Amino acid sequence: MTYATPPRRTLTALTMTTLLAGGLLLGQTAAAPDASAAGGKKVVCEVDKMRQQSHSLRARAARLQRLGATAEARKARAQADALDRRVRACVDADGNAPKPWN
């Protein structure tokens, strides 16, 4: 019985690892969905409406805080913060859109 030399064993292991990793990457890219937002739908940001919702949530949080419901106030503030982040993302996306004359 002959044993494989250490360099041959290392080379075989390295080759098999590379082939497996390449196959996994190829399989993931083939099964990946297209890069489109929300299933191919166009994303529309109504910034004014979102800002109004954020303002009403913050007013609600202040009212809840005065009444002593701190957990509900914290949740309302978190929702308002999330809306503010979405507004900022929409404004940034509009500002970074490619210009038609470039």
pTM for the structure as a whole: 0.54
What whole-number distance in Å separates Cα of residue 79 and Cα of residue 77? 5
What whole-number distance in Å separates Cα of residue 28 and Cα of residue 14? 21
What whole-number distance in Å separates Cα of residue 79 and Cα of residue 97? 27
The two structure tokens encoding residue 29: 């890219």
pLDDT at position 15 is 80
What whole-number distance in Å separates Cα of residue 46 and Cα of residue 58? 18
Mean pLDDT value across residues 14-29: 69
pLDDT at position 26 is 59
pLDDT at position 91 is 87
Highest mean pLDDT (candidates 9-13, 24-28, 86-90): 86-90
What whole-number distance in Å separates Cα of residue 80 and Cα of residue 56? 8
pLDDT digits (tens, 9 = 90+) for 25-81: 656 665 655 555 555 666 678 889 999 999 999 999 999 999 999 999 999 999 999
Q: Of residues 101 and 68, which shows the higher confidence score?
A: 68
| pLDDT of 21 above 90 | no
Is residue 87 within 8 A of residue 54, CB to CB? The reply is yes
